């Protein structure tokens, strides 16, 4: 157990009297005796008056469910799209990363636990914004992609939906990075406003989900298939956790799901874990483990597979699935789009149509020349 976590375990919840009525929640049902049932995620929390759901940020006040985190952020940072385990959508693009607090999961190894677990979030880290504030920041920083990320934007649902709708009016796209533990109705509404998804599937193992995330697997898989059926670009990340999911059997389960239920064209990122929160007994995932997972995915038929939370190596690059030509080279978070990749996504060497989208070669070259950015660990 980390020292920092231990110091915060007994922190008094400074927000327990918070009675913010800023935004009535979407996706809930009113019940008898002033109870409500939340419909945002598979938990379907039945919440008594003055109670909160599992996420700690959706509260029942006098029989109405409020999204108390609406318009409140803990992180607003200009980063690059590769931080979100997205390598084939606007490669090299700048994004405005937005983080909130609360979560409908509680992963033992969470790297953002000070925000995802609301009771440990310090009030001084919470800042208020309107949708227009967010849009203005994006415009001022010449960013045309909002990235809803960090803790898990699932519980920021109302603000994400409202802001994404407004952002579209300004030509700004939206990216949703999530563990995707949501109701089907929530996913359907997100698909109406999102341009791209980065989906984190922790493991293809129901027991694992119950024990280590406090959620369950099937809704995550079902929701991923919904996005796939709609033709929206998405990429999958799988956190390879030392001592838990770093075996050939684990890799094969993930590969089988993509091959059998989705498509070999879906990019998969095998991402390194580092010890944090309640899971401190193992070292950071050896680079050899994620490289093995990536190579096995390619050998078994996936067209695009990568490693994450790594600084360099060919496993970060994009290659043509047909002729193996190098199309995009990456070093850390620097992205260099080769002349071998047309802006249409076609390989210049063999004419193969890749699934790489929204290619702007000037972005990659601009970022290649920038000073190295060492902040690239995010799940």
Which pair of tokens denotes residue 193? 């406003």
Angle between helices 248-261 and 287-299 (to 10 degrees): 40
What architecture is domain 72-368?
Alpha-Beta Barrel (3.20)
The pLDDT of residue 124 = 65
Arithmetic mean of pLDDT, 303-314: 92
pLDDT in tens, 272-308: 987 766 667 788 899 999 999 999 999 999 999 999 9
Domain ranges of the chain: 3-67, 72-368
**Cβ pair 327, 354 in contact under 8 A:** yes
Cβ atoms of residues 152 and 179 within 8 Å: yes
Virtual CA dihedral for 152, 260, 287, 105, nearest 10 degrees?
A: 20
Nearest partner of 100 among 151, 53, 56, judged by Cα = 151
Q: 3-state SS of 196-217? A: EEEEECCCCCHHHHHHHHCCCC
d(CA 342, CA 330): 17
pLDDT of residue 122: 59
The predicted-structure confidence for 60-82, as pLDDT tens digits, reads as follows: 999 999 998 899 888 788 999 99
CA nearest neighbour of 333 among 126, 138, 85, 141: 85
Least confident of 130-134, 275-279, 318-322, 328-332: 275-279
The 10 Å Cβ neighbour count of residue 35 is 16
Q: What is the pTM of this model?
A: 0.89
Can you give the pLDDT at residue 378? 45
Q: State pLDDT tens for residues 97-154.
A: 998 878 898 887 766 645 545 555 556 667 788 999 999 999 999 999 999 998 889 9
What value does the mean pLDDT of the chain take? 87
Q: Evaluate if residue 21 carries a pLDDT over 80.
A: no
The answer to whether the CB of 102 falls within 8 A of the CB of 67 is no
- Output the six-digit token pair for 15: 């927000």
Q: How many residues does the chain have?
A: 379
The pLDDT, as a whole number, for residue 132 is 95
Phi/psi of residue 341, nearest 5 degrees: -115, 115
d(CA 174, CA 167): 8
Determine contact, residues 340/347, Cβ cutoff 8 Å: yes
């Amino acid at each position: 157990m980390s020292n920092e976590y231990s110091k915060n375990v007994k922190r008094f919840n400074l927000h327990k009297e918070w009675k913010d009525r800023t935004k009535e929640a979407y996706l809930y049902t009113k019940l008898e005796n002033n109870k409500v049932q939340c419909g945002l995620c598979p938990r379907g929390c039945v919440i008594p008056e003055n109670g909160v759901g599992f996420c700690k940020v959706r509260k029942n006040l006098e029989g109405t469910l409020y999204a108390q985190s609406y318009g409140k952020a803990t992180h607003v940072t200009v980063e690059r799209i590769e931080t979100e385990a997205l390598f084939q959508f606007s490669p090299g693009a700048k994004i405005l990363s937005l983080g909130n607090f609360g979560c409908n999961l509680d992963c033992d190894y969470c790297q953002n636990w000070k925000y995802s677990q609301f009771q440990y979030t310090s009030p001084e880290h919470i800042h208020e914004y309107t949708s227009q504030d967010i849009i203005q920041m994006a415009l001022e920083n010449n960013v045309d992609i909002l990235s809803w990320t960090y803790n898990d934007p699932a519980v920021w649902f109302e603000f994400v939906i409202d802001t994404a709708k407004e952002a579209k009016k300004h030509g700004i796209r939206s990216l949703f990075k999530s563990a995707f533990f949501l109701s089907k109705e929530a996913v359907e509404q997100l698909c109406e406003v999102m341009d791209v998804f980065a989906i984190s599937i922790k493991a293809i193992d129901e027991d694992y989900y119950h024990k280590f995330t406090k959620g369950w697997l099937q809704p995550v898989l079902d929701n991923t298939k919904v996005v796939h059926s709609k033709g929206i670009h998405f990429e999958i990340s799988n956190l390879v956790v030392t001592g838990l999911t770093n075996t050939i059997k684990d890799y094969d389960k993930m590969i089988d799901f993509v091959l059998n239920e989705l498509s070999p064209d879906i990019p998969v990122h095998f991402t390194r874990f580092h010890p944090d929160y309640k899971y401190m007994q193992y070292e950071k995932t050896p680079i050899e483990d994620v490289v093995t997972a990536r190579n096995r995915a390619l050998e078994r038929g996936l067209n695009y597979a990568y490693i994450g939370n790594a600084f360099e190596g060919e496993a970060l690059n994009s290659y043509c699935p047909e002729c193996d030509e190098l199309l995009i080279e990456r070093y850390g978070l620097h992205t260099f789009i080769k002349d071998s990749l047309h802006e249409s996504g076609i390989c210049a060497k063999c004419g193969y149509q890749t699934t790489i989208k929204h290619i702007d070669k000037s972005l990659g070259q601009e970022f290649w020349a920038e000073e190295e950015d060492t902040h690239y660990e995010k799940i």
